[in-house]
Structure 1
Amino acid sequence: MAAMTQLTEAQIRELIQGPGEVEWSYEMRRQCQEILPNLLLGPLQVSKSLETLKSLKVTHIVCIRDAKEAFSVRPRFPEHFQYMTLDVQDSEEQNLIRLFPNAKNFIDAAILQGGRVLVHCNGGISLSPSFVVMYVMQHLNLAWEDALHLVQNRRYCISPNGGFLTQIKEYESIYKAHNAVAQFPVQPRTTTRRKREAEEGEDERDESPKRMLVTDDDDGDDDGDDAMES
């Protein structure tokens, strides 16, 4: 999914605010919500219903789980959907930034192919929302607060833990630095015409015949011989 850099400031603000007519209810935390076109965020419960997934036209699923939840939070319909499974500790010490690029590539490739992606963890409260916030932030070139608000305005119950929130903040500077480097790729070094001509001139001088040097002693000997012969 190409980044929406062509949106105006007003359009970005409207996108962050989300659909204002939605009235959030407790039951909605058991459902999934569309955060961006073809990107859904929700809990385990949605991923367990083949009927629900098909009705949502889901094609790809990012299953994020704590290792101890592997017996229940797992790919259930591999014959119907393409899965990416991430084992992530739901603790403040877990490094999300290291795992995020592969998840982003999976989501991008799926949507580029015309697919729809569900990102879920167990409750859809902390783990999976953290990944989706980072994705939204980079995809729309947003500040971390705006990305967080955009996701919260569609799934009101999200609450990344303190460690994840710190990493979301850190990722803003990481992705912006990456974008800056991408805009100014390193150019291969080229030799200027003047420098090439100078180097070629040096080569020609090096290859010219060496001139014989005449010493003072040689001159003296020659003068002596000429005097004796006169």
Structure 2
Amino acid sequence: MAYHLDSTTASTGGFFHVPHTYTPTLPYNERRHFDTPRVHVPPAEVDYHEGKPSIQITRARFNQVSTDYGSPAFINSLAACHELTMTHNMLSWKYEMRRAGQRILPFLSLGPSSVARDVPYLKAEGVTLMIAVRSLKAVETRPTFLNPTTFSAASGIPTLAFDFDSTYDFISGFRPIIRHINDHLEATCTTDHIKSSHDISGRVLVFCESGNDRSSLLVAAYLIVIYGVTAFSAIQIVQSQRFCISMSDDMKNILVDLQHIVQAERSSPTPETFEGAFSRATESRSPLGKKRNIEQLDSDDEMEDELCGVSDVISRKGIPPFVDAAD
């Protein structure tokens, strides 16, 4: 295509005025590429019996071998004695119920910080362990923020605090918390071999400021670890009992990551940590053979470069950014 000078071009100092002859092949996107990936949790499948909604979550059957979360024998018995079938509260839920605590499991409750200060509630529920889940930045700014040891209602009740803000904070710190929960429950068992949840006299209350975000994340993580459910199923279970939870996409992504981590731990034939399993898998991908001389190394490098170049050319199916408008 040829372009010629005209009067307009001459008057502008000889610069060409190029008409719009090309169009973009893809629409322009001004969205930021570093936004947190959106996580859509589908609603749970609800069954109705005599007008009452209920859900039944299928969980993975496995034998816990890692000691990171407590006694494997106790955890296996705990998971086997309780089926995840429960009444869904979506029809009976009222706005005022967000200020109360709800039992997610027979021995594990979730609620706002107000219930941790409510003496009648703590006595009625028989709470024997209180866990505060807090923002690390908030605690650094105000050390007494949601400190359960300062609650008069918590007198005589063991307390624990779990502070986190980032994914790294949660993943690196949740194991000791879950182990503490299981050790406490095991210590309160009325028999050496539990056959039902009634054999556990301990009651754990997990709370945060609202009872809807950080504390619900920890409870969902507990379900993933102990019962082998997926991240989505764990959220559905928690929401079926406390309908007002509101996890951010960051929190949902933490649970998805945790699901993969726990699955990797279970796939290991020996009781080792996830870091150990990851390191072992990495080492197995690059076995060291016998030593080679410098000529062999240079030859291998040249061959690899040639093969990479050929494969790139063959597999490249790029899309041109613009096409001719006349096409």
Q: Would you say same fold, with TM above 0.5?
A: yes
Give the whole-Å Cα distance in 2 for the aligned partners of 1:81 and 1:46. Answer: 14
Give the whole-Å Cα distance in 2 for the aligned partners of 1:164 and 1:117. Answer: 22
**Displacement, 1:107?**
1.0
Runs of 4+ in structure 1 deviating by more than 6 angstroms, as ranges, are none
Aligned pair partner of 1:141 in 225, 228, 244: 228
* Structure 1 residues 113 and 94: alpha-carbon distance in aligned structure 2, compared to 1, 3 A threshold: same
Give the corresponding residue for 1:30. 99
2:160 pairs with 1:73: no
Q: What percentage of aligned pairs have identical amino acids?
A: 25
Give the corresponding residue for 1:105. 179
Q: Would you say the 8 A contact 1:110–1:116 is kept in 2?
A: no
Q: What is the TM-score normalised by the length of structure 2?
A: 0.50
Aligned pair partner of 1:96 in 154, 158, 170: 170
2:162 pairs with 1:86: yes
Q: Which amino acid aligns with 1:48?
A: R
Give the whole-Å Cα distance in 1 for the aligned partners of 2:122 and 2:265. Answer: 35
* Structure 1 residues 2 and 122: alpha-carbon distance in aligned structure 2, compared to 1, 3 A threshold: same
**Displacement, 1:2?**
2.1
Aligned pair partner of 1:52 in 91, 114, 121: 121
Q: Would you say the 8 A contact 1:65–1:73 is kept in 2?
A: yes
Give the whole-Å Cα distance in 2 for the aligned partners of 1:93 and 1:185. Answer: 24
Give the whole-Å Cα distance in 2 for the aligned partners of 1:85 and 1:70. Answer: 12
Give the whole-Å Cα distance in 1 for the aligned partners of 2:178 and 2:252. Answer: 18
Q: Could you list the per-position Cα deviations for residues 151-210 of structure 1 after superposition, in whole angstroms to 9, with x for gaps in the alignment? A: 1101111112221111100000111111222x4459xxxxxxxxxxxxxxxxxxxxxxxx
Give the corresponding residue for 1:43. 112
Tell me the number of residue pairs that the alignment of Structure 1 and Structure 2 aligns: 177
Give the corresponding residue for 1:118. 205
Q: Which runs of 5+ in 2 are unaligned?
A: 1-73, 189-201, 273-327
Secondary structure, aligned partner of 2:172: coil
**Displacement, 1:95?**
3.0
**Displacement, 1:125?**
1.0
* Structure 1 residues 71 and 118: alpha-carbon distance in aligned structure 2, compared to 1, 3 A threshold: same
Give the whole-Å Cα distance in 2 for the aligned partners of 1:124 and 1:175. Answer: 25
**Displacement, 1:72?**
4.4
Q: Could you list the per-position Cα deviations for residues 30-64 of structure 1 after superposition, in whole angstroms to 9, with x for gaps in the alignment? A: 11111112101110000011221111100001111
Q: What is the TM-score normalised by the length of structure 1?
A: 0.69
| Root mean square deviation, CA, Å | 2.4
Q: Would you say the 8 A contact 1:41–1:118 is kept in 2?
A: yes
Give the whole-Å Cα distance in 2 for the aligned partners of 1:69 and 1:154. Answer: 32
* Structure 1 residues 69 and 52: alpha-carbon distance in aligned structure 2, compared to 1, 3 A threshold: farther
Q: Which amino acid aligns with 1:31?
A: A
Give the whole-Å Cα distance in 2 for the aligned partners of 1:146 and 1:174. Answer: 16
Give the whole-Å Cα distance in 2 for the aligned partners of 1:139 and 1:23. Answer: 28
Q: Which amino acid aligns with 1:40?
A: S
Q: Which amino acid aligns with 1:24?
A: W
Of Structure 1 and Structure 2, the greater helix share is in 1
Q: Would you say the 8 A contact 1:32–1:42 is kept in 2?
A: yes
